[in-house]
Chain A
Amino acid sequence: MDPIFDPIAIEQWATDVGIFGMMNTKWGWPIAEIIHFYGLCLLIGAVGMFDLRMMGVARGVTMKELHRLVPFGIAGYLMCATTGFLFVVTAPGQYIYNPAMQMKIMLMAIAGANMAMFYATASAGVNAAGADEAPPVRARVIGAVSLSCWLLVIVFGRLVTFFRPPEYWCLWCAPG
């Protein structure tokens, strides 16, 4: 018994609002998957390449200019979050108890906190740095943490199908 989540109620809500029906049409799930991966591509393309630049790759490209790509990364994140929500509410039992999904959410939270740290402590220095200047050490660390998080999000996203049946992995559920 799960004292926190009620997968049946979540799925019922998804059915009532039409999400379950839409996702279970022939092309509903595949189209949501494609949009999810477009989001990931934009994230890695915009945020990941900015992270790499902060780590010292592609000297000559100013970080301030590359930062203009970040809105594409945010758009990618929103695409991933929206389609991810559709996946979870359509098949809550497959995701809520899945250790890969739990790791994925945790890594996204770390990436979010890391981004907040960037804007709070390193953004000004990075924007002021010249095209060929080495990024500040703090920016390098933030870039490495961010890129690692996003690549691991992909890894654990792929591992979601590895952990089945997911109910077996519920750490907070009482037996029976």
Chain B
Amino acid sequence: MDPIFASIEQTPFSIWMREDLYAYFIALIFHSIGMALLIGGGIVVSLRAIGVAGATRFDKFRGFFPVMWVGVVMAIVSGIALLIGYPAKALTNPVFALKFTCLIGAAFLVRAMARRLFPLAEQGMALPTWGRSLGVAALVLWLSGVAAGKLLLHTYTILLVS
């Protein structure tokens, strides 16, 4: 895979991401804000599933989804730009895969909550016990995704360009 990563790293956009004074930092800032909005919203929804702020109907938390979507778009667009800057550094690091697995897993669990638990809440029914487990699992995955993201800087082993 290294030749593919090396060829990506020689594209004008990749070089610009690494060598421009502001490009990498701007992408990093957008990525951080996007992740904050996504994971911030995810944590609130997960905490509600666990039982915090239990007097508010769970389905009303749907209102935070647009904010999370804004976060997703910001995180993905900026994440792709960061990835193009250093593809070998990220894609040869297993922790990168762990980060993605955790965040996609957490997002799927939130989707499952919206599909299965929101209709129950709309009918005024109490959330089942497994709903609380879903919330705990989502919270663990959100936080694991954050931890994996921070560990990327300390765990990479291949750096073709700097």
Give me the interface of A with B, judged by CB distance under 8 Å: 29-30, 33-34, 37-38, 40-42, 44-46, 48-49, 52, 57-62, 65-66, 68-69, 72, 131, 151, 154-155, 157-159, 162
From B43, B57, B67, A41 is in contact (CB under 8 Å) with B43
| Cα-based distance from A66 to B43 in the complex (angstroms) | 13
Q: In the complex, how many residue pairs between chain A and chain B have their CB atoms under 8 Å apart? A: 104
CA A151 to CA B35, docked complex, whole Å:
11
- Residues of A close to B150: CB separation below 8 A: 30, 33-34, 37
Which of B41, B56, B146 is within 8 Å of A65, CB to CB?
B56
The residue on A at minimum CB distance from B145 is: A41
CB of B120 within 8 Å of the partner chain? no
Question: Which 6 residue pairs of A and B lie closest in terms of their CB atoms, listed nearest first?
Answer: A58-B63, A45-B43, A44-B40, A60-B60, A45-B40, A65-B56
- A69 near B53 (CB under 8 angstroms)? yes
Interface residues of B, dominant DSSP: helix
A contacts with B: majority SS? helix
Q: Closest chain B residue to A50 by CB distance?
A: B44
Q: Which residue of A lies closest to B24 (CB)?
A: A162
Which B112-162 residues have a C-beta within 8 angstroms of A? 142-143, 146-147, 149-151, 153-154
| B36 contacts chain A at the CB level, 8 A cutoff | yes
A46 near B44 with CB under 8 A, answer yes
Contact between A48 and B36, CB atoms less than 8 A apart: yes
Q: Which residue of B lies closest to A159 (CB)?
A: B25
| Residues 42-62 (chain B) with a chain A CB within 8 angstroms | 42-44, 47, 52-57, 60-62
Q: Using known A-B contacts A34-B150, A44-B37, A151-B36, determine if residue A52 contacts B61 with beta carbons closer than 8 Å.
A: no
